[in-house]
Amino acid sequence: MDYIPRHPQPFTLAEATRLEVPVITEEIARLQNSLNYLQRTQDELKEHLTGSSEEDAVLEEAYTDNSKVIASQKERITILKMALSNKGMPYSNHYDASPNLPGAVRSAGTSLNTTVTATSLQTDDGGIDL
């Protein structure tokens, strides 16, 4: 099956399918994290634009540009999820960014037993939140 994206993408579905599963899931998590930040920025821009009586061309352009980036990144996530499916690995929300840890991501290729992850999840009492 061939997929024709609506937005310019850095890779095709066929190229994404050739990537290793951990690379795909880490890229999905990275893009989701980026989307969270972009959406917060959009909310702030919209609040400022609707709350101001003056037109601000720079902010309006930023809002429009961010909208395009958001659409492109969402499409890229779709392509990556399709690539996982093509590899026989249906995508699960289990690999999405964790709602309890702002900015933290967990992917199929990341074990909670790794030093990096364990260190980033340590609580004040020296324990690890799972």
Task: Walk along the chain (130 residues) and give the pLDDT tens digit of each residue.
Answer: 678 999 999 999 999 999 999 999 999 999 999 999 999 999 999 999 998 888 889 999 999 999 999 999 999 999 999 999 999 987 666 655 544 433 434 333 333 222 222 333 333 444 444 4
- Asked if residues 77 and 28 have their Cβ atoms less than 8 Å apart, the reply is yes
Q: Which two tokens stand for residue 69?
A: 């980036």
pLDDT at 105: 40
- Asked if residues 104 and 98 have their Cβ atoms less than 8 Å apart, the reply is yes
Residue in 50, 69, 64 with CA at minimum distance from that of residue 7:
69
- Asked if residues 35 and 74 have their Cβ atoms less than 8 Å apart, the reply is yes
For residue 128, list its beta bridge partners.
122
Q: How many CB atoms lie within 10 A of CB 17?
A: 17
CA distance 101 to 106: 10
pLDDT at 99: 43
pLDDT at 3: 85
pLDDT at 97: 53
Q: Which two tokens stand for residue 77?
A: 């996530």
SS3 state of residue 128: strand
CA distance 130 to 120: 11
Domain ranges of the chain: 15-91
